[in-house]
Structure 1
Amino acid sequence: MNGTGALGRYGEELAARLLTEAGMTVLARNWRYGRVGEIDIVAHDGDALVICEVKTRRPGPFGQPLAAITPTKSDRLKHLAECWLQQQGGAPPGGVRIDVVAVLVPRRGAPLVEHVRGVA
């Protein structure tokens, strides 16, 4: 697997599978809103809307995937969630939650996938 694009797509595929296996319904992947940014995965978890950021890394100098969720990134995800809701006609009864799926892909062996709910 070469390049960050392929690694990122691989991580998003693992994340979508994990969320689906956890009983969520994936509504959209790589949803873009103009120049504001992109939501990796939008899903329903029961009656809640989940905005999910996927962070995929290999072990190395960039550290753990969850460390990439900075306050700035968190604010952007909240803004993107508002944009999604405006386009879709408002919030569902269960509200909105922002989750992160962190994927650590070692050089050998199975990837480690961690789902963290309600990070922002």
Structure 2
Amino acid sequence: MKNERVYKMTFSKVYPLLVQKAERKGRSKSEVDMVICWLTGYDDFGLQAQIVKNVDYETFFNEAPQINPNATQISGVICGHRVEEIQEPLMQKIRWLDKLIDELAKGKPMEKVLRS
């Protein structure tokens, strides 16, 4: 049930929080967008369309054009859980995004954040 609450969170309400977190640490909105697009396969237009449509997290990830195949390289702890060990696919995608934004906010170079 706890996961269901997260899945139903509106992405357009979470998105500004992701941007704020990065901007507080000197990163930019465009860098956040780049990370989200890298993970989900959305282009800038597609990302903005999802925000305008007020989709929930579940819909946002279900409608994603293609989860980046290198996303499986994302590892580490977020919210007390190792992202590579999360069994629920949707929750893992959400935590991958959280982890990428964390790395961005911590000042990691974009090449490392994007696993290139």
TM-score, structure 1 normalization: 0.30
Higher Cα Rg: structure 1 or 2?
A: 1
Structure 1 or 2: more strand by fraction: 1
